[in-house]
Structure formats: structure tokens, C-alpha cells
Chains A and B, each alone.
Chain A
Amino acid sequence: MSSFWVYFAAKPLWWIIVTIATFLFTSWLNRRVGGTPLLHPVLVALSLIIVLLQLTGTDYDTYFQGAQFIHFLLGPATVALAIPLYDHFERIKKMLLPILVACSCGALTAALSVILVAWALGASEATLLSLAPKSVTSPIAIGIAEKIGGYPSLAAGLVLITGAIGCLTAPPLFRWLKIEDDAIKGFTLGLSSHGFGTAYAFEFSTLAGAFAGLAMGLTGLLTAFLVPLLIRLLGL
């Protein structure tokens, strides 16, 4: 029986099926409980998969041999964000200056506040450096963490947790701040919670999704330049 398991676990196909099936299940579960970001399908799915890997004694590299085929699609999906961006191009052009200012303020706040809070609470340096790019979409965050000396895979995970926190806290904050414009909601979600927030924003409307995609791209570009500079200024 154990050799049977080894045969299947060695096949990349198995982990692709596990990943998609788990995600379909957690998406269904999330709809059943009314779509709360607390039980976000991605967070529940990755927790379940980690438990399964632990139980079967499978290491991450073996899992990734299969899962990389799903991971790979992040590339073309990022390129595909150009479509909703183009659809709302007129609106974006009209708001270009506010967008650039808001993006600079937001990206600076995101990086600076997380470094300061973690530093004040006595986080280790590796944690600090892996936290710095947390508001940026995973592929960019991995690159930044590598550049400044954090752990790339930890940075990628923290980015996801940030995404969930953003989706969880944004709706009550929007109500409190009386934000009603879908463009502002989407932009804020994309800036603070990258692709996670973008996926969430598409559930409001395609306008919100387009602005989220725009914010995600801009924040990624800006943070990639900003964080290495900030780290040097703070003397870490």
C-alpha cells in the first residue's frame, strides 16, 4: 500500500488534482458560509494542503513539482490584467494624477509602517526584511526579498496573509470612511492586498477590479524601487 502511495505522490499530476480539487471544495465552502474573507478559499485550501503534506510526509519540493504548472499561470494572468485596464482606460486617464499620488503615499505607508511596527516589537532581521514587501504581488515580493536579504518563500507567504487581512478589514473600513466609489475601493484593495485584493475587487464590479489591477501593477513597480532604498536609509 505504501509503495502505491509513493507511485502516485511522485506523479506531478496528483498534486495538480489535489490543488484544484481542494480549491474547488474551499470555494464551495466559502459560498456556503456567506463569502467571509476569514475563511478565504485560498487560505483554507493552503492550510488543508499543508496538513495533507505533513500527514503523508511529503516535502514542499515534491508538491511543487506538480503545483508549479498552476503557479506558472500567474505569469500570463498578470499579463491578462491589461484587458480590464484597457476597458477602463478613459476613467484611469482622467484620474492619472490622483492615482499616482495615492499610490506613492500608500506604497510608502505600507512598507514603512510594517517595518517600524515589527522593529518596535523586536522582530528578527530576517523576518523584518521578509515583511517589507508584504503589500506587493508575490512575484515582485519574491524578487525584492531576495534583493534585500529576506527569505523569498516566507515573503511570498506573508504577502498572501496580508492579502487576506486586507480583504477582511477593507469592507468595514470603507463603511467607516464612507467610501462608495468602486474605483477607490478597487484601487485601495489592489494597493494594500495585491492580487488577492484584485480577485476580491472583481466581485464588487469589473471597474473595481480594473483599478485594483492598476494599483497592484503600480505599487509593484514603485515598491521594487522604494524598499531597497528605504532599507538602506533605515540602516538595516
Chain B
Amino acid sequence: MLAGLLLLLICQLLGEWIVLALGLPVPGPVMGMVLLLLGLVMKQTTPDWIRSPAEGLLRHLALLFVPAGVGLMVHAELIAAEWLVILVALVTSTVVTIIVTALVLKRLTRNLKLDTREERP
């Protein structure tokens, strides 16, 4: 459990270092995720001591967004002035994004499945 948590933190630290050294616009933890994934792919398995702390954190992922969300209070004035514009823009854009993404992926994977079926007689 503890060793797994340590590994997650080390991956994050290495990620932060790589991002800093190469001047990438990506946050360190995302790079850390890539590093851990590469490690798992090379090792071909996920030992329990990594899995249990990782799944524990992911089970409570939603809680971790609360502190940042409370930060909205700092912008109360701006939100009060432009809340309608913000809401309309967010809802419209989110709906359009969901439709575009789902349809593109559905269309492309349908072709993919057809291709594999054609390859297999």
C-alpha cells in the first residue's frame, strides 16, 4: 500500500522534472501517468501493491475537485455580471462536443470492426 503510494509520487516527481527540463506545456502528473503506463507495459503486469493504492485514490476522485471548485467564490462579481453568457456558452459547447466526439468515434470504430471482419474469412 505504502510502496504503491510512494511509486505514484515518484512517477509524479519524475514527470514534473521532465516537463520542467523540456519546457513542455503539459502538467507533471500527466507526464507521470505516461511514465507509469510505460513501466506497466514493459513489466506486462500490475502488482497488487500498486493496484490497491491507485484504485483507492480513483474511487474518491470526485472529492479531490472540491477544494479547487470552492475557488469560484473569488470570482463572484465577474460571474454575477456574466453568468448567462457563461452558462449558454458552456452548455452549447459541451453538447456539441459530446455529439461530435461520440459520432466520430462510433463511425470510425464501426469501420474498424467491419475491416477486421473482412480480414477474417
Contacts and interface: CB of A to CB of B under 8 A. Distances in A.
B12 A127 contact: no
B86 A131 contact: yes
Chain B: number of interface residues, binned into ranges: 35 or more
A153 B109 contact: no
A77 B57 contact: yes
Given A76-B8, A162-B94, A53 B28 contact: no
Nearest to B107: A98
Interface string B64-108: 111111111111001100101110111111111111111111101
A98 B108 contact: yes
B75 A95 contact: no
Given A53-B70, A67-B70, A82-B37, A105 B78 contact: no
A56 B97 CA distance: 40
B104 A106 contact: yes
Interface in B17-41: 25-30, 32-34, 36-37, 40-41
B55 to A, nearest CB: 7
Contacts of B36: 79-80, 82-83
Interface residues on A, range: 35 or more
Contact of B85 (A20, A84, A122, A184): A122
Nearest to A140: B27
Interface string A99-128: 101110110011001100110011110110
A71 B64 contact: yes
Contact of B62 (A42, A60, A68, A185): A42
Main secondary structure of the interface of A (DSSP, over half): helix
A123 B30 contact: no
A191 interface: yes
Contacts of B89: 114, 117-118, 121, 123, 131
Nearest to A126: B78
Given A46-B72, A79-B32, A217-B33, A173 B98 contact: yes
Contacts of A53: 70, 73
Given A77-B58, A134-B93, A199-B62, A157 B104 contact: no
Contacts of A41: 62
A123 B72 contact: no
B68 A98 contact: no
Contact of A220 (B27, B40, B106): B27
B118 to A, nearest CB: 15
A77 B61 contact: yes
A106 B85 CA distance: 22
Contacts of A153: 68, 71-72, 74-75
Nearest to A165: B94
Contact of A79 (B11, B68, B98): B11
B58 A225 contact: no
